Amino acid sequence: MLAINGDRVVLRDRDHSDLGDYLRWFKGGEWQKWDAPWEDLSPVVDEAEMIMQFAPRSPKDLPLPRRTMEVDTAEGQHIGWVSRYWIDRKTDWLEVGINLPEAGLWGCGLGTEALALWTDHVFSETDLVRVGLRTWSGNHRMLRVACKLGFAVEARFRKARVVEGRRYDSVAYGMLREEWERLRTGWPGVDR
Ligand SMILES: CC(C)(COP(=O)(O)OP(=O)(O)OC[C@H]1O[C@@H](n2cnc3c(N)ncnc32)[C@H](O)[C@@H]1OP(=O)(O)O)[C@@H](O)C(=O)NCCC(=O)NCCS
């Protein structure tokens, strides 16, 4: 099992025992108001589909960089996950994402460290020239995390999102490989 140890969080491969947390998180929670709240979420969780996703997989069948990793606190509490996905595989255009549904722990620096470890993993395990990240202008915590790590705002689609009747900007960030090489030495939790 791959584990990436920071100071306050650990990124690790998914375990079958994580299923219970996911079933609880996807039944609702404050986090869903912040992660793409314009998307229609099914009120019914497809438990069978989730059980399939949690079928044990040997680490040797998992790609590097990982597509997703679980986030634990250093004390072992499972608090969420990080992910990556292709915008355009042909041009190596990739974006990363993060969700920490345990809202009681927001604002303590755990998200910044988890995204630092994850971005570091993605760049370290690839030759990618850039890593992207997308959010919306109402998501103050995500904007702040991206800013603290040094992601650059690359595009702002003004008033492109509607959340609870109000218009917000869609904000796209990016980091180039040379920026990562320079910035990572100041990131929390990252092995130097
Ligand atoms: C976004 C998320 C991953 C951030 O994780 P986190 O652990 O809360 O992040 P951190 O504590 O490292 O940093 C949050 C920063 O936002 C700041 N912040 C919190 N509320 C804020 C507000 N209303 N306005 C401005 N800044 C705010 C915090 O003070 C902190 O900055 P600081 O370190 O300079 O004090 C987490 O909150 C989360 O999962 N939210 C729900 C799902 C989500 O939004 N996912 C991202 C989808 S794009």
Q: How far apart are CA 36 and CA 54, in angstroms?
A: 23
119 Cβ inside 6 Å of ligand 1: no
- The confidence band for 140, taking pLDDT boundaries of 50, 70 and 90, is very high
- How many angstroms does the Cα of residue 101 sit away from the middle of ligand 1? 12
Predicted TM-score (pTM) above 0.95: yes
Q: Where are the domains of the chain?
A: 3-186
8 Cβ inside 6 Å of ligand 1: no
What backbone phi and psi angles, to 5 degrees, belong to 25? Answer: -65, -40
- How many angstroms does the Cα of residue 135 sit away from the middle of ligand 1? 12
Residue 44 has pLDDT above 80, yes or no: no
Q: What is the DSSP string of 107-127?
A: TSSHHHHHHHHHHHHHHHTS-
- The confidence band for 178, taking pLDDT boundaries of 50, 70 and 90, is very high
| 125-135 residue pLDDT tens | 999 999 999 99
120 Cβ inside 6 Å of ligand 1: no
Q: Cα–Cα distances in Å, from 21 out to 25, 26, 54, 80, 121?
A: 6, 9, 12, 9, 24
3-state helix, strand, coil in the chain (%, to 5): 35, 30, 35
Mean pLDDT calculated for residue range 62-66: 96
Residue 42 has pLDDT above 80, yes or no: no
pLDDT (0 to 100) of residue 115: 99
The CATH number of the domain covering residues in 3-186: 3.40.630.30
34 Cβ inside 6 Å of ligand 1: yes
| 101-122 residue pLDDT tens | 999 999 999 999 999 999 999 9
| 144-169 residue pLDDT tens | 999 999 999 999 999 999 999 999 99
Q: Which residue has the tokens 């491969």?
A: 13
166 closest CA partner among 134, 121, 136, 133 = 136
